[in-house]
Structure 1
Amino acid sequence: MNLGGVAVLLVDLHQMLPGSEFTHTLVTGVCAENEIDILAGKYSDPNIVQIKSMGRKPSLFADFSTFLKIRKVLKNLDPQIVHTHTSKAGVLGRLAAISLRRKIKIVHSYHGHHLYGYFPKTIVRVIVFTEKYLAFLTHLLIADSEQVMIDLQKAKIGSKDKWQVIPPGIRKSESITKDMARLKIGTEKNLFLITWIGRFTEIKDPFLALEAFKRLQKLDNSKFSMIMIGDGELLDTCEEFSEKNQLGVIFPGWQSNVTSYLAAADILLVTSKNEGFGMVIAEAGLQNVPAVSTNVGGVGEFIKDQSNGILIPNDAAVIARTIFGLAKSGEQLVKLGLMARETTLEKFTIETFVNNHKIAYKNLLS
């Protein structure tokens, strides 16, 4: 599984479901060449099954082969519950479970959706049709935010009685001071540091972050620094943009542990066009770092504007002015960071996430 928010959640769920109550098998595919596998070195675990034909890219032959392999795994395991996550695994896994014609309770989790921002309308219509059919045969539908659930219900995917919201949960990470974190990652103490984390894809809109930073540099080019962490098809173009405009943005690539990068930051910048929840916002909160984020998807269910973060339009000029204002107001920044941490610890812990799943599974079988 490629290292990312959903993968971390699934591994945590797999590891933390109590063995005295559940026997849990994790079935996964393979990563692309440029991705980090969060399960590397763990495939000897008998409760982790890797299907090597299952990858991100669509392939009729490989996908049909994957369907048959998942079906075989399920036939041998004979589970009471099959819980699927992500788009392709959700389709193939549910079809495999349905095809066995056994009394299996089927659960699917939506970590965001593809209703807008990803594909042309024709493809979206195919996705919606497929999801409607599968939702009809699914016993429980889980969304990672209220907004994701509302969007999918508006598309008439699943009846309302099948829906439940389970927000993601974050593990409590090591506490690192800002100075220690900056020393560790090699950034200057006196600069206002903006951190951006995500895949360099159109949906994450890294160019909005770069354009905002370009405008920010025009306001004061001696005070601000930005780190953009991740990988993806737009990374090279973003690096070229930074170099051409002499922005000095740091691109360390994808990192298996971003705790130090978050702890070193003054703010987290999120520029997504669509977002299920935005786990990195809660991760930043744990480090007393508030997010400045576009108001998309379930982001507003964490960020209460001007209370524990800032919600912004997808406008580079507005983003630049907002960050410039925060940099001048140290007291407001500290307050936002403290409230972001409090929000994470109150509502978005991994223990709550696992317990909510435990309750959902038991209710499904009762």
Structure 2
Amino acid sequence: MEIIARLNVGGPATQITGLSERLDRREFDHRLYAGQVEGDEAAHGEDVPAAERLPVHRIPGLGRTVRPGDDLRALAHLVGAMRRFRPHVVHTRTAKAGALGRVAACASGVGPARMHTFHGHLLHGYFTGARRSAYVRSERVLASLSHRLVAVGEQVRDDLLDAGIGRREQYSVVPPGVRIGPVPGRREARLALGLPLDAPVVAYVGRLTRVKRPDRLAATARAVLDRVPGCRFVVCGGGSLLGELERDIAPFRASFDLLGWRSDTETVYSAADVVLLTSDNEGMPLTLVEAGMTGTPVVSTRVGSVAEIVKDGETGLLAGTGPDELAAQVARLLTDPCLARLLGEAARAWTTASFSVERLVADTESLYRSLHRRRRAGRRLRTRTARGAR
């Protein structure tokens, strides 16, 4: 039984889709439970015909926003669903679903093994002060209710351990697995997006939210334009800070193409000379994996487990969080096409070999098996203990 708060466009939904489609059905009866996507987000797979979409059991009240009444309703629905399905393993993803799902698993009386995946964490760039302390305390308690904690990267795991969340022996590191669609040629991609064939192009793909720092994207673009006049910036995505981004780029709006959400992100990557990420915090961003698979070099802030995707100076370039430093790295690639080509080719080889869906599925199946064996052994031990007591 896999539980996620919502299937919005992003890394967790992509991972779930790849996993659900390829798990061995002869061995695993896998069911997905999720809430609703909210208004400022795009739903994962909404462009897929209804008959081909991933089967989802909807949980009323489950979603991104914390609302005590809805959350209690979702908790009750999850407990009921577990009692009907009686899963051997409950696998939760994202913070809110992780909390409700693990509590429900304990309250259900079914006794499933409990596994939670951290696709990132909320330790940096989300909360400060009392709210951050409350988050850390709650995750410590939830870790004590978990049989296995999964982090998408080593740095994500280490950050959580440094915050006292879980024990090292509880953790497994399972990097994401990605499969992209057919990659068009550069000319074809630019014609499809209405971009000039000869201009330098920088792409940003992702949500426009506070932790992603669209304000830093705008400041970096301004600094790049000072170095490389005529550069075009393509933004594929949306979110609550779209309006702020539009205000920030107003003085150089002609240099920006705001595409909104698109499912053919491989077209955006192929059209770009550089892919840029400006976040304050990341787990293992699929944007950088996908860009690498298309052979497009990236420039990113050195945050989270980004350095486990981008080998600085080998498959892309990393920088601090200052717009001028980011802009200097972007301009370096735009003005040195030989370097950009070498990094892009190395990125394609590295990401294709290291972040396949097949590897993700094999790693996850292995974890499910080990948890099931542990659950059965625990039951046998409790049975023997009970008989001995009689």
Pairwise same-fold verdict (TM > 0.5): yes
Q: Which residue of 2 aligns with 1:4?
A: 10
Q: Secondary structure in 1 aligned to 2:249? A: helix
For the pair 1:301 / 2:301, whether they are aligned, the reply is no
The one-character-per-residue Cα deviations of 1:213-265 (angstroms, maximum 9, x if unpaired) are 1122122322x110112111211111122123445211111222311001111
Matched-pair contact (CA < 8 Å) for 1:217–1:247: no
For the pair 1:258 / 2:265, whether they are aligned, the reply is yes
For the pair 1:30 / 2:36, whether they are aligned, the reply is yes
TM-score (norm. length: structure 1): 0.96
Identity in percent: 30
Matched-pair contact (CA < 8 Å) for 1:67–1:96: yes
The one-character-per-residue Cα deviations of 1:307-355 (angstroms, maximum 9, x if unpaired) are 0000011111122222222122111000000011111111101111111
Q: CA deviation at 1:39?
A: 5.1
Q: Which residue of 2 aligns with 1:143?
A: 151
Deviates more, 1:168-177 or 1:181-190: 168-177
Judging changes above 3 Å, is the alpha-carbon distance between structure 1 residues 164 and 178 closer, same or farther for their aligned structure 2 residues? Answer: same
Q: Which residue of 1 aligns with 2:386?
A: none
Matched-pair contact (CA < 8 Å) for 1:194–1:227: yes
Deviates more, 1:13-22 or 1:314-323: 314-323
Q: Secondary structure in 2 aligned to 1:142? A: strand
Matched-pair contact (CA < 8 Å) for 2:18–2:178: no
Judging changes above 3 Å, is the alpha-carbon distance between structure 1 residues 306 and 57 closer, same or farther for their aligned structure 2 residues? Answer: same
Unaligned runs of 5+ in 1: none
Matched-pair contact (CA < 8 Å) for 1:214–1:247: no
Q: Which residue of 1 aligns with 2:212?
A: 204
C-alpha distance in 2, partners of 1:13/1:115?
27
Matched-pair contact (CA < 8 Å) for 1:149–1:165: yes
For the pair 1:179 / 2:187, whether they are aligned, the reply is yes
Q: CA deviation at 1:47?
A: 5.0
Letter paired with 1:51 = I
Deviates more, 1:274-283 or 1:234-243: 234-243
The partner residue of 1:345 within 340, 352, 356 is: 352
Unaligned runs of 5+ in 2: 1-6, 374-390
The one-character-per-residue Cα deviations of 1:261-289 (angstroms, maximum 9, x if unpaired) are 01111110000000001111010011100
Judging changes above 3 Å, is the alpha-carbon distance between structure 1 residues 39 and 336 closer, same or farther for their aligned structure 2 residues? Answer: closer
Matched-pair contact (CA < 8 Å) for 1:36–1:256: no
C-alpha distance in 2, partners of 1:315/1:85?
32
Q: Secondary structure in 2 aligned to 1:274? A: coil
C-alpha distance in 2, partners of 1:120/1:148?
18
Question: Which consecutive segments of 4 or more residues in structure 1 shift more than 4 A?
Answer: 39-47
The partner residue of 1:283 within 290, 302, 319 is: 290
Q: Which residue of 2 aligns with 1:320?
A: 327
Letter paired with 1:57 = T
Q: Which residue of 1 aligns with 2:380?
A: none
Structure with the greater alpha carbon radius of gyration? 2
* Structure 1 residues 232-251: aligned runs within 5 Å: 232-246=239-253, 248-251=255-258
For the pair 1:216 / 2:224, whether they are aligned, the reply is yes
RMSD: 1.6
Q: Secondary structure in 2 aligned to 1:182? A: helix
* Structure 1 residues 16-27: aligned runs within 5 Å: 16-27=22-33
Q: Which residue of 2 aligns with 1:64?
A: 72
Matched-pair contact (CA < 8 Å) for 1:43–1:49: no
Q: Which residue of 2 aligns with 1:98?
A: 106
The one-character-per-residue Cα deviations of 1:178-232 (angstroms, maximum 9, x if unpaired) are 111111111111011100111111110111121111122122322x110112111
For the pair 1:165 / 2:173, whether they are aligned, the reply is yes
C-alpha distance in 1, partners of 2:54/2:344?
42
C-alpha distance in 2, partners of 1:44/1:54?
23
Q: Secondary structure in 2 aligned to 1:226? A: strand
Give the paired residue count. 365
Q: CA deviation at 1:44?
A: 9.9
Matched-pair contact (CA < 8 Å) for 1:227–1:249: yes
* Structure 1 residues 122-133: aligned runs within 5 Å: 122-133=130-141
